[in-house]
Chain A
Amino acid sequence: MPTTTRVGVVTFPGSLDDRDAARAVKAAGAEAVSLWHGEATLQGVDAVVLPGGFSYGDYLRAGAIARFSPVVSEIIAAAGKGLPVLGICNGFQVLCEAGLLPGALIRNAGLHFVCRDQRLRVESTSSRWTSTYAEGAEITIPVKHGEGRYVADAATIDDLERDGLVTFRYLGGNPNGALNDIAGIRNADGNVVGLMPHPEHAIDDLTGPSSDGLAMFAAVLEGLVAA
């Protein structure tokens, strides 16, 4: 009987979806461990979620200040050793600022904040967070952001596409003008995934448009138990 899997959820000042991420972690069957931005410890967790919100008010640039917090330094080091890390929305922005994922997220093409139920295609199941999906699965998960337009230089985009690192792609309309309709990407090792949509808001039909997001939290658990 394995001990309960522990998934850390980071709270920065201005994090908003941290409780939601913790709820999703619990719904998937793991223990959610609250990690405080100012403490340089991961408390021995098995995986980490960087939740959505406006860390440090998004001042300077979304994710730019959070990237220098003590907890993120720990996460950068641990991710290098294979710790599964999921960055959602603002968390994705932090991962890009921290250099764990390439590219950047800039102001939406329409210049408005966009909250909508978004159809996505799962482009890669070769990650710790997407292994439970069927390749090419179409899922519906909310997006809600003002700065979610994924951009990178042409060479980076080519690399992402060639190496199959694009993990999620927008379907039925691109909400923010992201290059190649990119909604989420992973690193080459598959332990770090960042995406703009919010899987933690799609864990049941009562409070979300679907329960399609739950599989992401279940995937990391499965991987950890299997390991």
Chain B
Amino acid sequence: MTPPTDTVEIAASTPDQPQPYAELGLKDDEYAKVREILGRRPTDSELAMYSVMWSEHCSYKSSKVHLRQFGENPPRSDAMLVGMGENAGVVDVGDGLAVTFKVESHNHPSYVEPYQGAATGVGGIVRDILTMGARPVAVMDSLRFGEADAADTKRLVSGVVAGVGGYGNCLGLPNIGGEVGFDPTYAGNPLVNALCVGVLPHSRLQLARAEGAGNLVVLIGALTGRDGIGGASVLASATFDEEGVTKRPSVQVGDPFAEKILIECCLELFDRGLVTGIQDLGAAGLSCAFAETAAHGDGGMTVDLDKVPLREASMVPVEILMSESQERMLAIVAPEHVDEALALCQKWGALATVVGEVTDGDRLVISWHGETIVDVDPGSLADDGPVYHRPFARPDTEQDALAADSSAKLPRPSTGDELRATLLQLVASPELCSRRWVTEQYDRYVIGGTVLAMPHDGGMIRLGDETTRGVALSLDGNSRFARLDPHAGAQLNLAEAFRNVACTGARPLAVSDCLNFGSPEDPAVMWQFAEATRGLAEACRELGTPVTGGNVSFYNQTGSTAINPTPVIGVLGVIDDVAKRVPSGFTAPGRQIVLLGETADELDGSAWAWVVHRHLGGTPPAVRLDAERALAGLLAEAADRRLLSSAHDLSEGGLAQALVEACLIGGVGARVELDGDAFVGLFSESAARAVVSTADAEAVLALATRHGVPARAVGETGGDALAVDGQFAIDLAQLREVFEATLPALFG
């Protein structure tokens, strides 16, 4: 016998009834505040809604005060059409076209159930992009796992990669790049960050608002089931304990075929002007969609919850409100359009049901078989959640010890043979080896607009058949630098993504970030977060690239061990003519190789220190944003003048890794000459550098001078080996074998 449904009437008459708010993740004072707002105890349904909407995942209660920096005093940019706060930022790219992009995490579900966690991570970010009125056109992913050879890593890598691929491939979205990293701190806390980019004509821009009294609230897409109940509050907003794996029922299950239909259906609804507002259903499901659209509209909303089509008839209101079933959208439709909208949904085979109405009041009122079970101010759910000024403090002892522990004391290779062996060790390491095992599981061709994809530095897509215009994207998140210095680390990640986009020939325009950290309740973690956001906001101003949106993922820790702080930064750039794109690999023999930027002895936090010595300490490379901007300006102009045959950024693994990749991508060897210390020249990770090949070195050097970028011709492409004069030569065949063998050997 199920207990009777808790109504507003019952709640008003039973003020002292104990409620399970703590189990739902609400703190004592938060529960007290809910009672204060309502002037009574919440009903079961209201309690559930407040608990998810005020969860860390939905309310950003710990991060809000820091994220404000991105919105206040943003860099000057004429390109922003929609800034932070909507489902995704929208950037003008010219010709009446706009682009929207965002990166989001699905970390906790992916640990519990790797395939579905990763798959629905892709599905969720794709719906965010669709919600803006855009056609999703590409995805990328940034993944982190524990040590590559650790016990649980194979299960997670295999499941996550298959999930990202399974969903994106079936949805018909090319995966054009991303990154994979391994570090012991991610054992038990893998990171799955997915980015989606979409394209829209300015006129199709949609906003998540319920406006116009009398307009109808239409739920489109999949049936609502018991999957994912409480995902946001249970999984994403608390630290894993040993029972982590028992939370499996909280993970959503994805159906990419249903999402593909939903995309086509919604785009046609937009094009025919049949909706006045649209919101995707993601974290917190209907609770969030009702609350946010009502809060941001011009009135209130009434909902008949019993009209929601269910997968299981026995579901109770709390479950329906909390369900995170995938592939659903909430549309606001004027009454005169509703028949046409419903018929269109039927044509696509998408279920569509009128479940409510926009009112001229200011309350969100939800009924269940005629009885009122929710009666709240929607703003109190969506916007007036708690805001925490969490204490943060630099853990001086630990951080000082880390900074003092420089890599300078580590033994360095010096002879040609030693340098050769070091290079081969690095190239074969899980940190730097070929990602082909991963990226071959992703369709990079579908839609037919992919101009560059992995293994190139950045992905690039043409925006349509009728235009030469394209966008380039890169996603980067070096967590070792961020561990040593979160402020500099976040800036270096931004700089790397910015540089990667510049290397493709595009002009970097905007940023989306996914900030992955440990528990915000730990002042040391909160210090990392505060430092990283401060650093990022400053660097965005310097580089003129505003943050358009993103996501924060806290509680990435098991017990007291937090992950390395991992601010993953996505940069989007624009190129007027994709035919002028610059690949990362050498394309032909006989080209001059030019090294751009300055190399210093900067090996703290480097791939070399970690791979060869398992050492992490010291100070990350100097952040040189002026130099990054100059380098990007040079690369853009050189690409536009078609001076570059290839361009590869220098980052993890330094010049050595860049040369190896450039040789192997194009199947063209190279001979280079290094001045100064060969070890530093090959393996230092100084920022603001790139290596290019050109048929006109003179012009590139002259252009570099004009842009104030230090440049030096260092060698020539050709042959079937990578040769460093006076040091060593390695056959490309051997290099390729070593580079390609690692991940297949580990993961099958």
Residue in contact with B448 in the complex, picked from A14, A20, A58, A114, CB distance below 8 Å: A20
A13 touches B349 (CB 8 A): yes
Closest chain-A Cβ to B170's Cβ sits at a distance in Å of 5
B440 touches A115 (CB 8 A): yes
| B590 interface residue (CB < 8 Å to A) | no
Given contacts A16-B446, A20-B448, contact A113 B165 (CB under 8 A): yes
Closest to B443 in A: A144
Closest to A14 in B: B257
Residue in contact with A17 in the complex, picked from B256, B444, B446, CB distance below 8 Å: B446
Residue interface mask A178-209, B partner, CB < 8 A = 1: 00000000000000000000101100001110
**CB-defined contacts of B162 to chain A, threshold 8 Å:** 112-113
Residue in contact with A208 in the complex, picked from B166, B443, B445, B447, CB distance below 8 Å: B445
Residue in contact with B446 in the complex, picked from A14, A20, A58, CB distance below 8 Å: A20
Closest to B744 in A: A110
Given contacts A53-B172, A113-B169, contact A13 B257 (CB under 8 A): yes
A57 touches B172 (CB 8 A): no
State A114–B447 Cα separation when bound (angstroms): 17
| B50 interface residue (CB < 8 Å to A) | no
| A23 interface residue (CB < 8 Å to B) | yes
Residue interface mask B439-464, A partner, CB < 8 A = 1: 11111111111110000000000100
A207 touches B448 (CB 8 A): yes
A54 touches B440 (CB 8 A): no
Residue interface mask B415-452, A partner, CB < 8 A = 1: 00000000000000000000000011111111111110
State A114–B165 Cα separation when bound (angstroms): 10
B444 touches A115 (CB 8 A): yes
Residue interface mask A8-20, B partner, CB < 8 A = 1: 0000011011011
**CB-defined contacts of A201 to chain B, threshold 8 Å:** 445, 448
B257 touches A59 (CB 8 A): yes
State A95–B554 Cα separation when bound (angstroms): 50
Closest to A112 in B: B441
Closest chain-B Cβ to A94's Cβ sits at a distance in Å of 16
| A87 interface residue (CB < 8 Å to B) | no
Residue in contact with A14 in the complex, picked from B165, B260, B444, B462, CB distance below 8 Å: B260
State A13–B450 Cα separation when bound (angstroms): 23
A207 touches B443 (CB 8 A): no
Residue interface mask A95-133, B partner, CB < 8 A = 1: 000000000000000001111100000000000000000
A113 touches B257 (CB 8 A): no
State A198–B445 Cα separation when bound (angstroms): 9
**CB-defined contacts of A57 to chain B, threshold 8 Å:** 170, 255-258
**CB-defined contacts of B450 to chain A, threshold 8 Å:** 207
**CB-defined contacts of B171 to chain A, threshold 8 Å:** 16
State A78–B363 Cα separation when bound (angstroms): 61
**CB-defined contacts of B451 to chain A, threshold 8 Å:** 206-207
A116 touches B440 (CB 8 A): yes
Residue interface mask B106-145, A partner, CB < 8 A = 1: 0000000000000000000000000000000000000000
State A19–B451 Cα separation when bound (angstroms): 17
Residue in contact with B442 in the complex, picked from A54, A115, A200, CB distance below 8 Å: A115
Closest to A53 in B: B172
Closest to B462 in A: A207
State A58–B165 Cα separation when bound (angstroms): 15
Closest chain-B Cβ to A201's Cβ sits at a distance in Å of 4
Most B Cβ at <10 Å: residue of A23, A56, A113, A115 = A115
| B571 interface residue (CB < 8 Å to A) | no
Most B Cβ at <10 Å: residue of A58, A113, A198, A200 = A113
| B261 interface residue (CB < 8 Å to A) | yes
**CB-defined contacts of A17 to chain B, threshold 8 Å:** 172, 446, 448
A23 touches B444 (CB 8 A): no
| A142 interface residue (CB < 8 Å to B) | yes
**CB-defined contacts of B552 to chain A, threshold 8 Å:** none
B445 touches A115 (CB 8 A): yes
Closest to A110 in B: B748
Which residues B50-69 have CB closer than 8 A to chain A? none
| B702 interface residue (CB < 8 Å to A) | no
State A69–B260 Cα separation when bound (angstroms): 19
State A16–B172 Cα separation when bound (angstroms): 5
Residue in contact with A23 in the complex, picked from B349, B442, B443, B448, CB distance below 8 Å: B448
**CB-defined contacts of B579 to chain A, threshold 8 Å:** 206
Residue in contact with B440 in the complex, picked from A20, A114, A208, CB distance below 8 Å: A114
A20 touches B447 (CB 8 A): yes
Closest to B579 in A: A206
Closest chain-A Cβ to B306's Cβ sits at a distance in Å of 29
B446 touches A113 (CB 8 A): no
Which residues B164-211 have CB closer than 8 A to chain A? 165-166, 169-172
| B682 interface residue (CB < 8 Å to A) | no
State A57–B578 Cα separation when bound (angstroms): 33
Closest chain-B Cβ to A209's Cβ sits at a distance in Å of 9
Most A Cβ at <10 Å: residue of B171, B172, B442, B465 = B172
Given contacts A112-B440, A114-B440, A207-B450, contact A144 B169 (CB under 8 A): yes
Closest to B448 in A: A20
State A119–B588 Cα separation when bound (angstroms): 20
Most A Cβ at <10 Å: residue of B162, B256, B257, B465 = B257
Residue in contact with B578 in the complex, picked from A53, A113, A116, A206, CB distance below 8 Å: A206
Closest to B173 in A: A16
**CB-defined contacts of B256 to chain A, threshold 8 Å:** 54, 57
State A115–B437 Cα separation when bound (angstroms): 10
State A19–B135 Cα separation when bound (angstroms): 14
**CB-defined contacts of B165 to chain A, threshold 8 Å:** 113
State A127–B462 Cα separation when bound (angstroms): 34
A207 touches B449 (CB 8 A): yes
Residue in contact with A19 in the complex, picked from B258, B442, B447, B462, CB distance below 8 Å: B447
**CB-defined contacts of B447 to chain A, threshold 8 Å:** 19-20
Most A Cβ at <10 Å: residue of B260, B440, B448 = B448
**CB-defined contacts of A113 to chain B, threshold 8 Å:** 162, 165-166, 169, 440-443
State A196–B582 Cα separation when bound (angstroms): 30
Closest to A56 in B: B257
B443 touches A115 (CB 8 A): yes
State A212–B579 Cα separation when bound (angstroms): 19
**CB-defined contacts of B578 to chain A, threshold 8 Å:** 206
A144 touches B261 (CB 8 A): no
A144 touches B255 (CB 8 A): no
State A25–B445 Cα separation when bound (angstroms): 17
State A59–B443 Cα separation when bound (angstroms): 19
Residue interface mask B191-235, A partner, CB < 8 A = 1: 000000000000000000000000000000000000000000000
Closest chain-A Cβ to B698's Cβ sits at a distance in Å of 28
Closest chain-A Cβ to B119's Cβ sits at a distance in Å of 13
State A67–B348 Cα separation when bound (angstroms): 19
**CB-defined contacts of B439 to chain A, threshold 8 Å:** 115
State A113–B255 Cα separation when bound (angstroms): 17
Closest chain-B Cβ to A58's Cβ sits at a distance in Å of 7
Closest to A18 in B: B172
State A59–B260 Cα separation when bound (angstroms): 14
**CB-defined contacts of A115 to chain B, threshold 8 Å:** 439-445
The 10 closest A-B pairs by CB, nearest first: A57-B257, A16-B172, A20-B448, A201-B445, A144-B443, A54-B170, A113-B441, A142-B445, A115-B443, A16-B446
- Which residues from chain B sit less than 8 Å from chain A, CB to CB? 162, 165-166, 169-172, 255-258, 260-261, 348-349, 439-451, 462, 465, 578-579
| 16 more A-B residue pairs beyond the given contacts A200-B448, A207-B445, with a C-beta to C-beta distance below 8 A | A13-B348, A13-B349, A14-B170, A16-B172, A17-B172, A17-B448, A20-B446, A54-B257, A57-B170, A112-B440, A113-B169, A113-B442, A115-B439, A115-B440, A144-B446, A198-B445
9 A-B pairs, CB-CB below 8 angstroms?
A13-B260, A19-B447, A20-B445, A52-B446, A54-B170, A115-B443, A116-B440, A206-B578, A207-B449
- Which residues from chain A sit less than 8 Å from chain B, CB to CB? 13-14, 16-17, 19-20, 23, 52-54, 56-59, 112-116, 142, 144, 146, 198, 200-201, 206-208
